[in-house]
């Protein structure tokens, strides 16, 4: 359904004039139509508030103009249906056209402009509702690069002209020089409206510029992981200890007795020493390869908070190639999120991380690239030649060589998990301190849709090392919108 006034453009009335105003609904039907005056009508009135349309869908109301120069709007609405509004201008001195021209020196880009004019008001009063046009104003629209024409503006009363583009720019100026039957240029100084930071919905990527200090920190994290996984000089003993822990509790005594009687420690040490590449070196290679394939970076989602101005929620999804959970990064972190003039946005906050979890996750990437194993423990079981170790050790009552191979794989899995989780178990927590600043692009609703920034911060490993880091932030709208 639709409802439209028969009168085109602004209805121009003399003070005290009586005019019959018609509306038409489509499709034709005897609609119930209500009529309301909006804005400062200065004493204008309608002869009835409700009318029933005829079978062609037409209804009318008699509008009595005020005795003063004024601007207001007449609203017609179908019961439980659409509505329409008609601008009304009252003047004893005639009417003219305002050619509204924006004067803007900022960086935002307007896609369209909306101009409004209201009689006997001030810019201070209009600013309280900016950028919305004041109730009852005469309203016109125009393109981004052309003036906006408001026809039928009343001559005589003081006029206030406001101009806005979406929710991103607004300006206002007084106008008293309009002449009847003429057009007058009105230049409106326009300024940026505040960014709606609460409407932030950005997918963000923070890259790290490589530096020697960061490389040394990650290398130290690798060495700590390897030492927690298989202590240097005690590889065989650590593996056998883990195999014994993985055996059924009822068989622990039999495992220990056979280990001592047949000197499994020496046999396991000889087996591990004969491997083409030691397990520690193999893990180190996988980890460094994984780090090289996916350098340290932070991927996450930045969301503004309606009830916490100046703050945003950062939800980390990945640290490099490692999931946030595996890397010890909280799923959600509150950060400072503010805007400076010129649409420069600033993000500041601290993320915790687990260096062992991070480099352990990178090892999984490297192992997957080199082997067909589905996990680092599975790749370790193959690299350790657990089947051959099982045959060499021979087993014990209730556990043959195949069973020993299974215990070997299980022991390596246990050791790897303990190595990756060693820092977390010890309560050692790293930190990534972020301070980012850079320009944003906003849409017509003043919500950020892209943000490119430089960031400077500090990364700590929780074990006493600290490195100054820097990089770039690239953030785009999470829902792909740009309007």
pLDDT reported for residue 177:
92
Mean pLDDT, range 52-75, rounded to an integer: 95
Q: What is the set of domains in the chain, with CATH numbers? A: 2-90 (2.60.40.10), 95-193 (2.60.40.1120), 201-477 (no CATH)
For residue 322, the cross-strand partners are: 319
Q: Is 195 helix (H, G, I), strand (E, B) or coil?
A: coil
Whether pLDDT at 283 is above 60: yes
Closest to 429 (Cα-Cα) out of 366, 363, 351, 369: 351
Per-residue pLDDT of 91-138, as tens digits, reads: 999 999 999 999 999 999 999 999 999 999 999 999 999 999 889 999
For residue 45, the cross-strand partners are: 64
pLDDT reported for residue 483:
58
Confidence of residue 68 (pLDDT cuts 50, 70, 90): very high
Mean pLDDT, range 327-334, rounded to an integer: 94
Please, are residues 175 and 160 in contact by the beta-carbon 8 Å criterion?
yes
pLDDT reported for residue 266:
97
Phi, psi of 171 (to 5 degrees): -155, 165
- State the distance between the two ends of the chain, measured CA to CA, in whole angstroms: 28
Confidence of residue 480 (pLDDT cuts 50, 70, 90): low
Mean pLDDT, range 192-212, rounded to an integer: 95
Q: How far apart are CA 369 and CA 286, in angstroms?
A: 9
- 131 prior amide bond cis, ω within 30: yes
Confidence of residue 427 (pLDDT cuts 50, 70, 90): confident
- Number of Cα atoms under 13 Å in the Cβ half of residue 338: 7
pLDDT reported for residue 157:
94
Confidence of residue 222 (pLDDT cuts 50, 70, 90): very high
Per-residue pLDDT of 141-180, as tens digits, reads: 999 989 999 999 999 999 999 999 999 999 999 999 999 9
Q: Is 185 helix (H, G, I), strand (E, B) or coil?
A: strand
Q: How far apart are CA 13 and CA 470, in angstroms?
A: 66
Q: Is 64 helix (H, G, I), strand (E, B) or coil?
A: strand
Q: How far apart are CA 418 and CA 395, in angstroms?
A: 25
For residue 395, the cross-strand partners are: none
Q: How far apart are CA 54 and CA 23, in angstroms?
A: 11
Q: Is 425 helix (H, G, I), strand (E, B) or coil?
A: helix
- 27 prior amide bond cis, ω within 30: yes
Mean pLDDT, range 455-469, rounded to an integer: 95
Closest to 247 (Cα-Cα) out of 357, 390, 452, 367: 390
Mean pLDDT, range 39-57, rounded to an integer: 94
pLDDT reported for residue 321:
87
The mean predicted confidence, pLDDT, of the chain is 95
pLDDT reported for residue 428:
87
Confidence of residue 73 (pLDDT cuts 50, 70, 90): very high
Closest to 278 (Cα-Cα) out of 419, 383, 418: 383
Alpha helix positions (H), 53-143: 123-127
Whether pLDDT at 58 is above 70: yes
Cα 452 to chain centroid distance, Å, stands at 13
Length of the chain counted residue by residue:
483
pLDDT reported for residue 219:
95
Q: How far apart are CA 351 and CA 269, in angstroms?
A: 42
Per-residue pLDDT of 289-323, as tens digits, reads: 999 988 899 999 999 999 999 999 999 999 998 99
pLDDT reported for residue 482:
57
- Number of Cα atoms under 13 Å in the Cβ half of residue 388: 12
Q: How far is CA 125 from CA 117, 134, 140, 175, in A?
A: 13, 9, 20, 15
pTM of the model: 0.83
């Amino acid at each position: 359904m639709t409802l439209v006034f028969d009168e085109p453009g602004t209805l121009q009335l003399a003070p005290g004039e009586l005019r019959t105003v018609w509306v038409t609904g489509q499709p034709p039907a005897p609609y119930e139509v209500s009529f309301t005056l909006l804005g400062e009508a200065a004493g204008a009135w309608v002869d009835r508030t409700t009318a029933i349309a005829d079978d062609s869908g037409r209804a009318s109301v008699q509008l009595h103009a005020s005795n003063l120069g004024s601007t207001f709007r007449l609203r017609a609405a179908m019961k439980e249906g659409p509505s329409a509004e008609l601008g009304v201008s009252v003047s004893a001195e005639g009417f003219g056209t305002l050619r509204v021209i924006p004067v803007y020196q900022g960086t935002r880009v307007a896609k369209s402009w909306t101009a409004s004019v209201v009689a006997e008001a001030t810019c201070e009063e209009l600013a309280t509702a900016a950028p919305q046009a004041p109730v009852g104003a005469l309203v016109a629209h125009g393109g981004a690069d052309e003036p906006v024409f408001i026809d039928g503006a009343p001559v005589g009363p003081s006029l206030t002209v406001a101009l806005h583009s979406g929710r991103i720019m607004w300006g206002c100026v007084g106008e008293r020089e309009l002449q009847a039957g003429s057009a007058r240029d009105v230049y409106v100084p326009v300024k940026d409206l505040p960014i709606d930071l609460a409407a932030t919905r950005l997918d963000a990527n923070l890259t790290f510029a490589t530096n020697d200090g960061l490389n040394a920190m990650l290398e130290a994290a690798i060495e700590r992981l390897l030492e927690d996984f298989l202590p240097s000089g005690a590889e065989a003993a650590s593996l056998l200890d883990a195999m014994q822990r993985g055996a059924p509790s009822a068989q622990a005594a039999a495992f220990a007795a056979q280990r001592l009687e047949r000197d499994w420690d020496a046999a396991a040490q000889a087996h591990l020493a004969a491997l083409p590449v030691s397990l520690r070196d193999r893990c180190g290679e996988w980890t460094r390869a994984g780090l090289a394939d996916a350098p340290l970076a932070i991927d996450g989602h930045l969301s503004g908070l309606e009830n916490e101005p100046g703050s945003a929620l950062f939800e980390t999804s990945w640290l490099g190639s490692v999931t946030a959970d595996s890397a010890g990064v909280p799923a959600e972190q509150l950060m400072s999120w503010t805007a400076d003039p010129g649409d420069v946005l600033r993000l500041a906050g601290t993320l915790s991380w687990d260096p062992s979890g991070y480099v352990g996750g990178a090892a999984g990437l490297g192992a997957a690239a080199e082997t067909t194993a589905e996990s680092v423990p599975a790749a370790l079981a193959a690299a350790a030649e657990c089947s051959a170790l099982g045959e060499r050790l021979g087993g014990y009552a209730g556990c043959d060589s195949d069973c020993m191979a299974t215990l070997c794989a299980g022991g390596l899995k246990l050791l790897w998990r303990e190595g990756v989780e060693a820092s977390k178990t010890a309560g050692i927590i790293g930190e990534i301190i972020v301070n980012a600043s850079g320009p944003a692009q906003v849409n017509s609703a003043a919500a950020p849709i892209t943000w490119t920034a430089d960031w400077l911060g500090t990364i700590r490993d929780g074990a006493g090392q600290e490195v100054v880091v820097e990089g770039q932030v690239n953030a785009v709208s999470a829902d792909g919108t740009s309007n």
